[in-house]
């Protein structure tokens, strides 16, 4: 069965998607249009490029996430330089190794720009902090940044969407006012872009499945906020949860597969092979249970 899919962010928790995709492939589901924020944009991008679910799982299992930690030698060995760099560049790591890896993986499927992908096949969510808005790539590129969608790098779009604040340095794009816009993780403003497929005045073209790496909003326990870092983190989480809840209509509530990974931190790049396998198994288990009751 052909379906559309939206994938939320969640950093390394996204290994749970591997188990979910495995089950969906076994049950005969095939994604036509896909959208994603942050880590979800990586999965969506590989699906749009033509990778099979099995191939995506192998890519995820084989990658050494620590290879993406590309700070300079001075930053590596002199801690104060590292933190000064964070202050002035707004990120611990450059993100170039990550983008180069994406470029290489997508290039194996001859996908370099959005012109290499069928129209409407892939939507990537980023947050423009300078303009204070959600940006959909490639749809908004020409209108906001005067950039050609067909010539824009898919790898760069995904890297921007996965620019976890303070972790990867944000990208900068020249906007319509001829000023530099700061672009960060799409999950900051919309972690589950299910709303991209909402058709208020017409019947769905095909079934829609959202996949989210947290529990439903009404099942998330209260946060313990004890310091400024907790406040900043939970402020961002509250904003994006509120946005997605506002735009995900009641008709889509039953179309969201929740994969509430709670024991792994978003930025835990040292996740072991054993933990990866555990997350895959968790994704399988939750997806099998979901499909038994999903009314497509």
Total of domains in the chain: 1
Q: Quick one: pLDDT at residue 271? A: 81
The Cα angle at residue 240 between residues 238 and 247, in degrees rounded to 5: 120
Q: Quick one: pLDDT at residue 229? A: 57
pLDDT band for position 74 (cuts 50, 70, 90): very low
| CATH number of the domain where residue 25 is located | 3.40.1090.10
Catalytic residue among 185, 190, 244, 255, which? 185
**Which tens digit of pLDDT belongs to each residue from 97-150?**
999 999 999 999 999 999 999 999 999 999 999 999 999 999 999 999 999 999
Q: For the beta carbon of residue 263, count every other beta carbon within 10 angstroms.
A: 10
pLDDT band for position 155 (cuts 50, 70, 90): very high
Nearest residue to 257 via CA among 279, 277, 285: 285
Catalytic residue among 38, 85, 153, 163, which? 38
**Which tens digit of pLDDT belongs to each residue from 173-225?**
999 889 999 898 888 888 899 889 876 556 678 999 999 998 665 555 555 66
Average model confidence (pLDDT) across the chain: 84
- Active-site residue flag, 38: yes
Residues of the domain holding 99: 2-292
d(CA 125, CA 257): 19
Higher pLDDT, 289 or 185: 289
In the numeric block, the tokens 């290879």 are attached to: 67
Among the residues of the chain, which ranges form H helices?
15-26, 39-49, 53-62, 73-77, 79-89, 96-107, 141-145, 154-161, 228-247, 273-291
Q: Quick one: pLDDT at residue 75? A: 46
- Active-site residue flag, 185: yes
């Amino acid at each position: 069965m052909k379906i559309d899919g939206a994938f939320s962010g969640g950093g390394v928790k996204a290994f749970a998607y591997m188990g979910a995709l495995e089950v969906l492939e076994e049950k005969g589901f095939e994604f036509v249009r896909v959208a994603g924020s942050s880590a979800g944009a990586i999965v969506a991008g590989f699906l749009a490029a033509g990778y099979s679910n099995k191939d995506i799982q192998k890519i995820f299992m084989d990658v050494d996430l620590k290879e993406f930690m590309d700070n300079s030698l001075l930053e590596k060995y002199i801690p104060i330089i590292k933190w000064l760099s964070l202050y002035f560049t707004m990120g611990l790591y450059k993100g170039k190794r990550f983008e180069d890896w994406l470029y290489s993986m997508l290039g194996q499927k001859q996908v370099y720009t959005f012109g290499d992908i069928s129209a409407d096949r892939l939507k990537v969510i980023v947050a423009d902090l300078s303009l204070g808005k959600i940006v959909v790539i490639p749809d908004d590129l020409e209108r906001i940044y005067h950039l050609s969608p067909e010539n824009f790098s898919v790898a760069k779009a995904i890297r921007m969407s996965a620019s976890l604040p303070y972790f990867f340095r944000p990208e900068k794009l020249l906007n319509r006012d001829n000023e530099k816009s700061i672009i960060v993780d799409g999950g900051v403003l919309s972690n589950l872009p299910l709303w991209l497929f909402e058709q208020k005045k017409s019947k769905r073209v095909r079934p829609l499945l959202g996949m989210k790496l947290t529990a439903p909003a009404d099942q998330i326990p209260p946060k313990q906020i004890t310091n400024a870092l907790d406040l900043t983190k939970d402020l961002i989480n509250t904003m994006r949860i509120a946005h997605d809840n506002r735009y995900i209509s009641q008709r889509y509530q039953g179309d969201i597969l929740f994969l509430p990974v709670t024991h792994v931190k978003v930025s835990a790049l040292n996740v072991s092979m054993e933990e990866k396998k555990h997350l895959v198994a968790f994704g399988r288990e939750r997806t099998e249970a979901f499909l038994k009751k999903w009314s497509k």
